Structure 1
Amino acid sequence: MTFDDKTRAFMDKIAKKGSVLGLDAMCLLMQALGDPQEQLQVIHVAGTNGKGSTCAMLQSILCLQGYRVGLYTSPAVFCYEERFSIDGAYIDAATFNTYMHRMEDAWQEVERQHGVCATIFEVETALAYLYFYEAGCDYVIMEVGMGGATDASNVLNHSLCSVFAAIGRDHMQFLGPDLESIARIKAGIMKAGGQAVSTWQEPKAAKVLEDVAKAGKTGLTFCDESKVKIKQRKPLCYDYREFSDIEVPLEGSYQLQNSVLVLETIRTLRKLGVVISDAAVKEGMQKTVWHGRMECLCKEPLIYMDGAHNLPAAKRLWETLESDFTNKSITYIMGVLADKEYEEMLALLLPRAGHIYTVTPDNARALPAEKLQKTIENLSYAALACPSLEDALYQALQAGDDMILAFGSLSYLGDFKKIVKASVKE
């Protein structure tokens, strides 16, 4: 994304303001913009892991049905503009700069009249709502940033449907120390009298969702794992309720859970009067593209990357390695953030490692590669800290294992993919 000078100066300015919990500033900012979010049909997606894949599948299906569909996701992995897409096409630089100039005008008005400052994430979220409204989107899929109740995307009086991917332990310093606390905050996107859909959850998280739904008289439907009839594991093909021969191109054992959530959401949308054919469901699922989640970058040599950046995601990655890569020796390239449960992730995943190379992600919260190396060695495994992604890839290619897997933080995967494409010729 090419930011013009005015946009860059504004974004740098508000980025330095930090973040403040609550929706007061966001509500005032949306009011200054005319509350476009209230004119949209929003499918609101929360959860700890699986949100992005779920959103991508929903967008693909609705687009195949002929609807104009906006999608807002975060964080960006490969390019900034991927966060704002309509029918799969990212926002262009000129359009983004124009909208950001309007955001600056509204931001200054709110600061002048009320003395409060919206954060960078709130401004980006407000931009998405305004952009999708003025672009005439039939439906908008909004991915919750981190929590739920006080997330900037939750500046809605109503939504078409609240959707919950798997809820697990992450961002505990913001969301609470246990699963129930985290689930309660995420449940805050439910709207009184509205509809909600959830994947199968851990019992404690499911109970919280049920309690919140009951209190707000929200219709809540859980996916039924017992209704899944798997026909083929790789590529995944299965039946679920009235849907038959659903083929999912996205790799990773966790995509079964995500795709079933999408199907159950489609069932709820149909009950709300949204026309979605079986053909659109099947073709939309087949054509879904979502980068960075168990993505194969190269087949010879075999190189994968996966956005397993927290303990719940690491558990899902382990399940995928056990089921889909049972007999392969694997070289790990790992880079993690310091505020994640990386020691628990290591304890789970290291037994599958052949060689291990650590890197420092390009992120202010990154754990230095040397510290990650030391942590691995304290667990009685050998590792080598690499000064760059290029060096890590070089070392991994020399290791001679059957497969290379890069994971640990989303923040370095975009650069890693570029390096692989530039360095490795199949």
Structure 2
Amino acid sequence: MSSKRPFCSRNGRTLLIIRWELIDMNYEEAVAFLDAPKYNTIRPGLEPMIHLMDLLGNPQDSLRIIHIAGTNGKGSTAAYISQILQCAGYKTGLYTSPYIERFTERVRCDGREISPQSLARLTSRVYEAVQQMAARKQLLPTAFELITAVAFLYYAEEHADFVVLETGLGGRLDATNIIPCPVLSVITAIDMDHTNLLGDTLAAIAGEKAGIIKPDGHVVSYEQRPEAAQVIQRRCQEQQASLDMVNLSRICIKKQTLEGQDFSYGTDDTYHVSLLGTYQVYNAATAITAARCLQRLGYAVSAQAVSDGLAKTRWPGRLEIVGKNPLILIDGAHNPHGVRALRQSLEQLFPQQKCTFIMGVLADKNYSSMIEIMRPLMRRALTVTPASERALSGDTLAVLLRKDGVDAQSVSSIAEAVEYCRKEFREDVICAFGSLYYIGQVRAYCLKAGDHNGT
């Protein structure tokens, strides 16, 4: 056996990382490597990814991909499309980020997460390639590029019929954009986010998202605001790519309850989704448009597969009920567009009713606008500090909320926030939102306690 050296992960635990000659990482070592602070940076650009995938044999070139970019709705739309393809009989990979509870959630095939053993084995291959890059003094990959490489290896090994591939940040310079022309490029709702990296206008951000559109490709886009729509249309013209734009006016919502939503889109067919919130109907319409485009391209995606796929889709952390006594919902809304959609959905589900909120945000987000949007629905708020180096402290957030006239207090942990709500606000609707970096902890705590079943 080759020798091993100590490695200190972000949480301070000492783990063993194997030298690059050895290809037998275990799961803990693999996650520690993929999450190592030295790789945990945001650096748009494709050069390191190109070198890395060259060393790994470019498995992405053999994959049939549906590529998804956008500001909000990427994960939900990807989940819908993936489930539709599975119901159509295709073996389907699904690559998303970030994860809610488990690292392996990010890489799935036919609904099953990559096994810890496969993650460890494939990460060992990626680790070897990174060591070769280091020896050549090449720029090293980021953490997102590393896990994306693992995903490409996995889907090629699994012989997936389709891979539904979500970008990490932007599109044009995102690690996932190393792929050749995909079967479909799908662009979900575009809004202001990551302005320090993507630009400070809607048109600039749309330009980065539209960077996934390739020559002679086929594009499906959510109904965008005019500034973003014009950029997408121009990019399609430049690349001679076809464009199907979702028309939200053709949606007819027939029923909305806590059990799900019934709607039609452009035909007499009625679809059912279990995901809550009007925005999930809009995301479903984007998935339906994608399915109809695939049908025109000759892929066997029946109307029944579309209907069944939408009905079967589950997507944790997006206006999800995780407790019933009191009613506790969680939502990953973390920018003004997402928070605006969350507010609209809460107003429709609970008319004339204010809510108790659990709120935690990252310091680089537009939390002032998020507060302004949600304030009319706030009966009170408990603030927490997400487990991220980029987090805004719960104390600071509580001060900001109180300045805005909200009854707010900071609590030390997720458990304290949930238990306080259970004890003091049993008649309220409780909603946790603000960052995907902590709602997974809310979800895990509530489900572990049996709250999801109303116990």
Q: SS at 1:229's partner residue?
A: strand
The residue number in structure 2 matching 1:406 is 432
Query: Equivalents in 2 of 1:123, 1:211: separation in Å?
Result: 33
Q: SS at 1:254's partner residue?
A: helix
Q: SS at 1:67's partner residue?
A: coil
The reply on whether 1:354 has 2:379 as its aligned counterpart is yes
Amino acid at match of 1:190: I
Unmatched 5+ residue regions in structure 2?
1-24
The reply on whether 1:248 has 2:273 as its aligned counterpart is yes
8 Å contact from structure 1 (residues 248, 286) kept in 2: yes
The reply on whether 1:303 has 2:328 as its aligned counterpart is yes
Which of 96, 109, 128 is equivalent to 2:119?
96
Which of 322, 327, 337 is equivalent to 2:362?
337
Query: Equivalents in 1 of 2:104, 2:32: separation in Å?
Result: 18
Q: How does 1:113-128 map to 2 (within 5 A)?
A: 113=136, 115-128=138-151
How big is the shift at 1:401? 4.1
Query: Equivalents in 1 of 2:297, 2:226: separation in Å?
Result: 28
Change (3 A) 1:358 1:17: closer
Q: How does 1:130-209 map to 2 (within 5 A)?
A: 130-209=153-232
The reply on whether 1:36 has 2:59 as its aligned counterpart is yes
For structure 1, which segment, 7-16 or 167-176, has the greater mean C-alpha deviation from structure 2 after superposition?
Answer: 7-16
Q: SS at 2:278's partner residue?
A: coil
What are the superposed Cα offsets for residues 173-221 of structure 1, whole Å, 9 maximum, x if unpaired?
A: 1111111110000000001110000010111110110111111111111
8 Å contact from structure 1 (residues 355, 396) kept in 2: no
The residue number in structure 2 matching 1:238 is 263
8 Å contact from structure 2 (residues 380, 406) kept in 1: no
Query: Equivalents in 2 of 1:8, 1:320: separation in Å?
Result: 36
How big is the shift at 1:49? 0.5
How big is the shift at 1:28? 1.1
How big is the shift at 1:275? 0.5
How big is the shift at 1:14? 6.7
8 Å contact from structure 1 (residues 82, 90) kept in 2: yes
Amino acid at match of 1:229: C
Amino acid at match of 1:407: F
The reply on whether 1:277 has 2:302 as its aligned counterpart is yes
Query: Equivalents in 2 of 1:242, 1:34: separation in Å?
Result: 45
8 Å contact from structure 1 (residues 81, 91) kept in 2: yes
Which of 250, 266, 272 is equivalent to 2:291?
266
The residue number in structure 2 matching 1:53 is 76
Task: Calculate the aligned-residue CA RMSD, in Å.
Answer: 1.6
What are the superposed Cα offsets for residues 293-334 of structure 1, whole Å, 9 maximum, x if unpaired?
A: 000012222111111111110010111112111133311110
The residue number in structure 2 matching 1:74 is 97
What are the superposed Cα offsets for residues 353-411 of structure 1, whole Å, 9 maximum, x if unpaired?
A: 11211111111111101000000011122201101111111222203442111111111
Which of 5, 10, 21 is equivalent to 2:33?
10
Amino acid at match of 2:249: S
Amino acid at match of 1:302: L
The residue number in structure 1 matching 2:4 is none
Amino acid at match of 1:318: R
How big is the shift at 1:250? 0.4
The residue number in structure 1 matching 2:445 is 419
How big is the shift at 1:257? 0.8
8 Å contact from structure 2 (residues 385, 394) kept in 1: yes
The residue number in structure 1 matching 2:312 is 287
8 Å contact from structure 1 (residues 14, 119) kept in 2: no
Q: How does 1:377-392 map to 2 (within 5 A)?
A: 377-392=402-417
Q: SS at 1:356's partner residue?
A: strand
How big is the shift at 1:413? 1.1
How big is the shift at 1:114? 5.6
The residue number in structure 1 matching 2:50 is 27
How big is the shift at 1:8? 4.9
Query: Equivalents in 2 of 1:332, 1:64: separation in Å?
Result: 37
Q: SS at 2:131's partner residue?
A: helix
Unmatched 5+ residue regions in structure 1?
none
Change (3 A) 1:385 1:206: same
Query: Equivalents in 2 of 1:76, 1:237: separation in Å?
Result: 28
The residue number in structure 1 matching 2:344 is 319
Change (3 A) 1:3 1:296: farther
Identity rate of aligned residues, in percent? 36
Change (3 A) 1:243 1:152: farther
8 Å contact from structure 2 (residues 48, 138) kept in 1: no
8 Å contact from structure 2 (residues 27, 119) kept in 1: no
Query: Equivalents in 2 of 1:325, 1:3: separation in Å?
Result: 47
Amino acid at match of 1:409: S
The reply on whether 1:109 has 2:132 as its aligned counterpart is yes
Query: Equivalents in 2 of 1:189, 1:303: separation in Å?
Result: 37
For structure 1, which segment, 236-245 or 385-394, has the greater mean C-alpha deviation from structure 2 after superposition?
Answer: 236-245
8 Å contact from structure 1 (residues 78, 414) kept in 2: yes
Change (3 A) 1:276 1:4: closer
How big is the shift at 1:233? 2.8
How big is the shift at 1:269? 0.8
Query: Equivalents in 1 of 2:362, 2:149: separation in Å?
Result: 28
8 Å contact from structure 2 (residues 326, 425) kept in 1: no
Change (3 A) 1:22 1:327: same
Q: How many residues align?
A: 425
The residue number in structure 2 matching 1:210 is 233
